[in-house]
Amino acid sequence: MDLIGSLILLGIVIVLVVLFVTQPLMRRWRMRTEGNPVLSSLLAERDRVLNSLKELDFDNSLGKIPVETYPQQRLSLVQQGAEILRKLDQLTPPVQAPVTSLPTRQEDPVEAILSARRLKLSSGASKNEAEDEPKDKAEDKDEAERLIASRRKIRPVTSGKFCPHCGRALLITDRFCPGCGQPVQ
């Protein structure tokens, strides 16, 4: 009787531990299912539109979709997605900005350096002019690298996502992939 009683007590303890551990998971699941039905339907519609866009782009890259209908279909899906995002923005509260926010584009020194480089490249500078100013380029590059390093000290360093184009690990706050340069969502 002593062995049976201890097995029953052990079984009860195991069941209580499992219930205790799964309680937060069950609470989250209940909150998702009992939430705002309009919000959940908009989120489901957003996921459907995003998946449709991915499939459409993939099918286009394989040549399965006629060239003349692809832009119209893509534009229609993008417009649907934009409308859904507008509705979601109206339903969800705005996210608070972090305390240590990064400078805006207008006052961002890295953006200023990159804009100056782009301007030089787009102005059609000749090879001779480009060869005359290697010291300036090196100084600009050093300055940009220093600014980026100081910015990374402010940012969280955890990688939270991967580039959908090349698969490289990205920081949560990255807007462009450092590997391939493609914009990430």
Q: Per-residue pLDDT for 5 more than 50?
A: yes
Contact 179, 168 (CB under 8 A): yes
Rounded to whole angstroms, how far apart are CA atoms 180 and 168?
Answer: 9
3-state DSSP call for residue 171? strand
Residue 163 is predicted with a pLDDT of 83
Residue 125 is predicted with a pLDDT of 56
Q: Per-residue pLDDT for 10 more than 80?
A: yes
pLDDT in tens, 58-97: 999 999 989 899 999 999 999 999 999 888 888 776 655 5
Rg of the chain's alpha carbons, rounded to an integer? 26
Residue 127 is predicted with a pLDDT of 47
Residue 9 is predicted with a pLDDT of 92
Maximum average pLDDT range among 109-118, 147-156, 157-166, 173-182 = 173-182
Rounded to whole angstroms, how far apart are CA atoms 56 and 66?
Answer: 11
104 or 168, which is more confident: 168
Residue 162 is predicted with a pLDDT of 78
The whole-model pTM stands at 0.36
Rounded to whole angstroms, how far apart are CA atoms 90 and 46?
Answer: 14
Residue 15 is predicted with a pLDDT of 94
The dihedral sign for the CA sequence 77, 82, 88, 92: positive
pLDDT in tens, 25-53: 877 666 654 567 787 788 889 999 999 99
Residue 79 is predicted with a pLDDT of 94
Would you give the end-to-end CA distance of the chain in angstroms? 63
Comparing CA positions, the residue from 109, 107, 134, 106 lying closest to residue 120 is 134
The dihedral sign for the CA sequence 125, 183, 90, 94: negative
Residue 160 is predicted with a pLDDT of 67
What torsion, rounded to 10 degrees, do the Cα atoms 115, 121, 123, 127 define? 150
pLDDT in tens, 95-150: 555 554 544 555 677 777 777 777 877 776 554 454 555 556 667 677 777 877 77
